Amino acid sequence: MKNKLFFFLTAAFLLNAAVCFPQKSKPKNIILLIGDGMGLNAVTSSVYYLDNSQFRRFPYTGLVVTRSADNLITDSGAGGTSYATGNRTKNQSVSVDTTGKPMLTVLDYAKSKGLATGLVVTNSITDATPAAFYAHVVKRTDQARIAEYLLEDKVDVIIGGGQSFFLPKQLNGSRKDDKNIIDSLKARGYKVVFSYDSLKTIPDKDRVAALMAKVEMPKAKERGFELGDLSSIALHRLSLNKKGFFVMIEGSQIDSYEHVNDFNSAFDEIKDFNTAVKTALDFAEKDKNTLVIVLADHETGGLSITGGNFKAPVVSWTTKVHSAAMIGVFAYGPGAELFTGIKDNYQIGRIMFRLFGKNIK
């Protein structure tokens, strides 16, 4: 009888607790995937024309206003900063505020809490989007300075291009000083490699910097591996950390081909990005403790599908630069329900911070 009463009271308490204090789910890991310049019509082209397009797998979607602090039309520096720091800044700036003061990034914060961190991109690792997560500069073009921020031991898995910004001129680099940042990375314990094949051979315990191109990687079709392959290497390594991880994976070159209004090449990059989204979702489905967020930093090209048929689109472009169009955000996993409605870009950063346990103002 006593047992029965105990059971009853416990059950009543739990039921009451569940009703009054719904457990807000928080992820252990966050995978943030950014399709640079991937506006809603780029997403549309994926959904209409790509076998195995991943976007329908997301239960929660929303829209994001992409403006920067000083411009209706953002660049990737300010766009990346709003996601990385939870605050807007001026175009050209990378994770400094509008007065030039460094701002904490979600990657910095994850690292300080003992999580593993990673960045996987197909352009230079010193480009504005990845830089927003680990560097603090007023001018995004200062890529030599940005490279030096990787010596702060905040990123465990570095995969991208950009050798040139790590080496002085006499070693075929583009640095104006005589610093060899690759040697400095090695001195800090990184295994530095320059190809996909060598990346695959690095033992799990080592921190890795894979700088696989002088500046940007070749276009998707000529790379010989997919962003999904790079992502699964990163996810394997990062998931060995018991406390969790934060990783930003970027389809960097979608934007590059939109800038020259080359739809076929941009679509190849969207297709390549899709492999990374699949890798992330498959991982999260198994893990059950991982939030996957897919979005863009801004739209590029004013891309529109104006004709064609069910097999192929006819597209039109309205600009060779970025546009002010809202972009889509897609979320899966614990906390995904927070990414609905219309959000300002900096709110995305604030939600990620909050899910990791920190409130940003």
Find the part of the chain contacting Zn ion (CB under 5 A) among 17-25, 102-110, 139-147, 247-255: 247-255
Residue whose Cβ sits closest to Zn ion: 255
Number of residues in contact with Zn ion under rule CB under 5 A: 1
Minimum distance, C-beta of residue 331 to Zn ion, in the bound complex (Å): 24
Minimum distance, C-beta of residue 76 to Zn ion, in the bound complex (Å): 6
Output 173 or 302, the one with its CB closest to Zn ion: 302
Minimum distance, C-beta of residue 26 to Zn ion, in the bound complex (Å): 33
Catalytic residue among 53, 76, 164, 256: 76
Output 71 or 241, the one with its CB closest to Zn ion: 71
Output 42 or 202, the one with its CB closest to Zn ion: 42
Residue 286, C-beta contacts closer than 8 angstroms, at least 6 positions apart: none
Minimum distance, C-beta of residue 278 to Zn ion, in the bound complex (Å): 25
Asked if residue 332 lies in contact with residue 353, where contact means CB atoms within 8 angstroms, the answer is: no
Output 38 or 150, the one with its CB closest to Zn ion: 38
Structure tokens at 195: 């190809």
C-alpha distance from residue 104 to each of 39, 163, 213, 231, 353 (Å): 27, 26, 29, 25, 10
Closest Cα partner for 330 from 26, 27, 25, 35? 35
Output 292 or 327, the one with its CB closest to Zn ion: 327
- Secondary structure (3-state) at 315: strand
* Amino acid letter, 270: I
- Asked whether position 127 contacts Zn ion by CB under 5 A, the answer is no
Output 108 or 255, the one with its CB closest to Zn ion: 255
- Secondary structure (3-state) at 158: strand
Minimum distance, C-beta of residue 158 to Zn ion, in the bound complex (Å): 22
Which of 255, 269, 272, 297 lies at the binding interface for Zn ion (CB under 5 A)? 255
Residue 81 to residue 252: CA distance in whole angstroms: 16
Tell which positions 130-169 bind Zn ion, by CB under 5 A. none
C-alpha distance from residue 96 to each of 107, 139, 158, 167, 206 (Å): 15, 10, 22, 25, 30
Structure tokens at 62: 């929303």
C-alpha distance from residue 196 to each of 35, 141, 212, 215 (Å): 21, 27, 7, 15
x/- map, 201-240, Zn ion, by CB under 5 A:
----------------------------------------
Asked if residue 139 lies in contact with residue 92, where contact means CB atoms within 8 angstroms, the answer is: yes
Find the part of the chain contacting Zn ion (CB under 5 A) among 57-65, 131-139, 252-260, 327-335: 252-260
Minimum distance, C-beta of residue 321 to Zn ion, in the bound complex (Å): 7
Asked if 76 is an active-site residue, the reply is: yes
C-alpha distance from residue 91 to each of 299, 310, 357 (Å): 15, 39, 29
Structure tokens at 271: 């297709």
Annotated catalytic residues are 76
Binding stretches for Zn ion (CB under 5 A)? 255
